[in-house]
Amino acid sequence: MNKLKVLFACLLLFALASCSTGTETKDKKLEAKIDNLLSQMTLQEKIGQMNQISSFGNIEDMSGLIKKGEIGSILNETDLQKINALQRVAMEESRLGIPIIFARDVIHGFKTIFPIPLGQAASFNPEIVEAGARVAAIESSSVGIRWTFAPMIDIARDPRWGRIAEGCGEDTYLTSVMGAAMVKGFQGDSLNNPTSIAACPKHFVGYGAAEGGRDYNSTSIPERLMRNVYLPPFEAAARAGAATYMTSFNDNDGVPSTGNAFILKQVLRNEWGFDGLVVTDWASATEMIAHGFAADSKEAALKSVNAGVDMEMVSYSFVRHLPELIKEGKVKQSTIDNAVRNILRIKFRLGLFDNPYLEEDKPSVLYAESHLATAKRAAVESAILLKNDNETLPLTSKVKTVAIVGPLADAPYEQMGTWVFDGEKAHTQTPLMAIREMCGDNVQVIYEPGLAYSRDKSASGIAKAAAAAARADVVLAFVGEESILSGEAHSLADLNLVGAQSELIAAVAKTGKPVVTVVMAGRPLTIGKEAELSAAVLYNFHPGTMGGPAIADLLFGKEVPSGKTPVTFPKMTGQIPLYYAHNNSGRPATRTETLIDNIPVEAAQTSLGNTSFYLDAGFDPLYPFGYGLSYSTFTYGNIKLSSATLKKNDVLTVSFDLQNSGKYPATEVAQLYVQDKIGSVTRPVKELKRFTRVTLEPGEKKTVTFELPVSELAFYNIDMMKVVESGDFGLWVAGDSQSGEELVFKVID
Ligand code: GLC
């Protein structure tokens, strides 16, 4: 009997090990190499590996630090010759020849710029997102960059926060799928492939919940919400093999992430089995002094490294204070050794010891035709058609004169969006360029921007724009945000169009000509008024280098819009935070409430009822999550569940017929939502659990199937255990988070 027990225990252990995140250290040979190198390193050399600097250009000075073994990584150096020169110093002039990892923020492209990640998420297409990350890796690694600080997978439910632009929106499942796709794209099939760059899911964790949507502000995310909403995308990235992680600036419930052992050790290492390296955000170690969490840079170093940080970005407290902290016994030698093991492990996995240098005379891959084509495809699939009255779009041959107005019609720099360090505006193809090329001599294009830039408040050019509109068959108004208005540290308290853009739309609409409003922005904007005045609205989260040709193809029908909102669009800023996967509350809105303009004078105190809504904005958003129109229409029917009663280890199969009932070949993003009706804690009214893009010819009908393991309905419950609770569930299959008929099923023990 004993032998059987031992056998069972071994099998169980093996099973547990194999269902981990897959990033545990399995390579004994690699570990032996790491230990051998570690055993030769002095304390100063070990601490040097934990130090990352930002290139300050001066090769001699940086070489001096490298020779001393004081640098483990350099960010923001992108000159191939300089990178090779610095690497040669590390390999041939430092005592142990440990290579440097060169890093850069390659967030949505290096030279060929893709739509900002929020735009890429709108494609609901992980394949195109992975392809974009692959292009970014090929281009950036060709100059010697082998580590990017991406994907940014902070769940963001507050569009006042400028960094909503940089992530994949409000939804945990969508962000998990897109983040994993980016990790795979950046890292390729193997990290030691010279075109692979180490991914760095960031900002770990909860940064997108900054109070008031004001960047760097405190967050108050309780553990259950952290585990059910904010952590899953980072776990998905770990399962995808992410090589590194970056700590976030925010203090959550009073603890800055850079000093938070619970997330860095308990969750990331112990629960997920992560064995790569953790880097701080820019000076986030010493910023714990400003947080009031560290008295000085010595305590900042102490708290960071003891919490589980391996490498410090630019604030140099590790180099300055760790020797003393070790001498004082406040930091263990084993802590340093483990941090350096994690760093060396990534350097070995990247193949830097064997292939530290780049060929300097190989043909450039920057802006390759195939890269530009992929970027255009991404921009096409990221565009969201929010309105299209009377089939204004696509523009047909009846249109002989087009007036193009607005500050974003020909704004090559703005179109690339935030977090672009290396993309060049000279390579951007704008909508004006693309539409002029497409129209040629067949359609007259009149261009009157009306405003010089998005914040332009001078209305002096609006009359000329209106005059151009009066002469045209249709007006294309390109409005939105300059790229500087979103991104890091760029929070907004008001999401209305800036400058005199709203006046511009009103002026051209007043001519009576149909207005197609094309938005380029880094976030959802409160464009209800302008949408009212427009016959059609096409929304693009800064579409990147190829945004112009993509938008032109969409407007003139060579392509059909398929994007869906990855984030809820509020009617008013005051509705924020506003997201679809909300809890019901005890007094949910009925959506029939009397709104402010219809409240009788001297209305009795309780006459309006007591539900959760805004008197001046109601409850519903301007556009819900998952929403987007097509030039075709789609009908969902014959929705069937494999069973109405399931056990916890079952797989639910959902099948439905999807028909393209319009006249254009088109793609629909079909979505599956589930609600756990009753829980040991309150649960969201809906949660996205699957989505898929389905391309259909006019009239074509296809049966589509989703497979959903019941285990994916698990959540952290009242006992902080991740479980599936038996009971009743609601299920919807639809083209957005507000549509579809509810089906029900039961989970039993
Ligand atoms: C910035 C950002 C982070 C970025 C880092 C390096 O402050 O917060 O996302 O990767 O510094 O540029």
Q: Residue 502 in contact with residue 525, Cβ under 8 Å?
A: no
Question: Quick one: CA dihedral 240, 245, 249, 251, positive or negative?
Answer: positive
Q: Is 564 helix (H, G, I), strand (E, B) or coil?
A: coil
Check residue 537 and give its pLDDT: 99
Q: How far apart are CA 685 and CA 676, in angstroms?
A: 8
Please work out whether the CB of residue 105 comes within 6 Å of at least one atom of ligand 1: yes
Check residue 137 and give its pLDDT: 98
Residue of minimum CA distance from atom 11 in ligand 1: 282
Radius of gyration of the CA atoms of the chain, in A:
27
Residue of minimum CA distance from atom 6 in ligand 1: 282
Q: How far is the CA of 46 from the centre of ligand 1 (A)?
A: 24
Please work out whether the CB of residue 202 comes within 6 Å of at least one atom of ligand 1: yes
Check residue 16 and give its pLDDT: 46
Identify which of 244, 246, 281, 313 to mutate to test ligand 1's pocket (most ligand atoms within 8 A of the CB): 281
Check residue 2 and give its pLDDT: 54
* pLDDT of 9 over the 90 cut: no
Torsion angles phi and psi, residue 217, rounded to 5: -75, 165
Q: Residue 512 in contact with residue 441, Cβ under 8 Å?
A: no
Q: How far apart are CA 564 and CA 547, in angstroms?
A: 17
Q: How far apart are CA 366 and CA 343, in angstroms?
A: 29
Q: Is 449 helix (H, G, I), strand (E, B) or coil?
A: coil
Q: How far is the CA of 282 from the centre of ligand 1 (A)?
A: 6
Which two three-digit tokens encode residue 314?
A: 């630019």
The closest alpha carbon to 456, from 431, 480, 487, 432, belongs to: 480
The helix or strand, by DSSP H or E, that contains position 403, with its residue range, turns out to be strand 401-405
Q: How far apart are CA 276 and CA 310, in angstroms?
A: 9
The closest alpha carbon to 139, from 383, 373, 371, belongs to: 371
Please work out whether the CB of residue 287 comes within 6 Å of at least one atom of ligand 1: no
Residues 6+ apart with CB under 8 A from 54: 74, 75, 76, 313, 314
Distances (CA, A) of 57 to 69, 75, 452, 646: 18, 11, 35, 62
User: Could you state, in order of their start, the residue ranges of all structural domains in the chain?
Assistant: 634-748
- Cis peptide leading into residue 577 (ω within 30°): yes
User: How much is the average pLDDT of 19-39?
Assistant: 78
Please work out whether the CB of residue 281 comes within 6 Å of at least one atom of ligand 1: yes
Give the amino acid at 359: E
Please work out whether the CB of residue 77 comes within 6 Å of at least one atom of ligand 1: no
Question: Quick one: CA dihedral 347, 350, 351, 356, positive or negative?
Answer: negative
Torsion angles phi and psi, residue 552, rounded to 5: -60, -45
Residue of minimum CA distance from atom 1 in ligand 1: 282
Residues 6+ apart with CB under 8 A from 373: none
The closest alpha carbon to 222, from 179, 184, 254, 269, belongs to: 254
Check residue 11 and give its pLDDT: 53
Q: How far apart are CA 231 and CA 168, in angstroms?
A: 14
Q: Residue 723 in contact with residue 615, Cβ under 8 Å?
A: no
Check residue 57 and give its pLDDT: 83
Q: How far is the CA of 249 from the centre of ligand 1 (A)?
A: 10
What does the DSSP assignment read for 127-162?
HHHHHHHHHHHHHHHTTT--EE---B------TTSG
Please work out whether the CB of residue 149 comes within 6 Å of at least one atom of ligand 1: yes
Distance separating the N- and C-terminal Cα atoms of the chain: 31
Check residue 692 and give its pLDDT: 98
Beta strands 727-734; 743-748: pairing state:
antiparallel
Q: How far is the CA of 439 from the centre of ligand 1 (A)?
A: 42
Residue of minimum CA distance from atom 3 in ligand 1: 281
pLDDT band at 20 (very low <50, low <70, confident <90, very high): very low
Q: What is the CATH number of domain 634-748?
A: 2.60.40.10
The helix or strand, by DSSP H or E, that contains position 516, with its residue range, turns out to be strand 515-521
Which two three-digit tokens encode residue 404?
A: 């193009």
Q: How far is the CA of 21 from the centre of ligand 1 (A)?
A: 26
**pLDDT tens by residue, 632-662:** 999 999 999 999 999 999 999 999 999 999 9
Q: Is 646 helix (H, G, I), strand (E, B) or coil?
A: strand
Catalytic amino acids? 281
Mean pLDDT, the chain, as a whole number?
A: 96
Q: How far is the CA of 257 from the centre of ligand 1 (A)?
A: 14
User: How much is the average pLDDT of 372-397?
Assistant: 98
Which two three-digit tokens encode residue 430?
A: 């704008």
Which two three-digit tokens encode residue 594?
A: 């009397």
The closest alpha carbon to 668, from 116, 119, 125, 114, belongs to: 125
Q: How far is the CA of 79 from the centre of ligand 1 (A)?
A: 20
Burial class (CB in 10 A: 0-12, 13-18, 19+), 687: buried
Residue listed under structure tokens 């996967």: 581
Check residue 3 and give its pLDDT: 57
User: How much is the average pLDDT of 381-403?
Assistant: 97
Indicate which atom in ligand 1 lies nearest the CA of residue 203.
9
**pLDDT tens by residue, 102-119:** 999 999 999 999 999 999
Residue of minimum CA distance from atom 7 in ligand 1: 282
Please work out whether the CB of residue 160 comes within 6 Å of at least one atom of ligand 1: no
Residue of minimum CA distance from atom 12 in ligand 1: 105
Q: Among residues of the chain, what percentage have pLDDT more than 70?
A: 97
Q: Is 658 helix (H, G, I), strand (E, B) or coil?
A: strand
**pLDDT tens by residue, 460-477:** 999 999 999 999 999 999
> Which of the residue ranges 55-59, 107-111, 188-192, 679-683 would you say has the lowest mean pLDDT?
55-59
**pLDDT tens by residue, 474-513:** 999 999 999 999 999 999 999 999 999 999 999 999 999 9
Q: How far apart are CA 472 and CA 401, in angstroms?
A: 5
Please work out whether the CB of residue 488 comes within 6 Å of at least one atom of ligand 1: yes
Indicate which atom in ligand 1 lies nearest the CA of residue 152.
9
**pLDDT tens by residue, 253-266:** 999 999 999 999 99
Indicate which atom in ligand 1 lies nearest the CA of residue 202.
9
Give the amino acid at 506: A
User: How much is the average pLDDT of 362-377?
Assistant: 98
* pLDDT of 411 over the 50 cut: yes
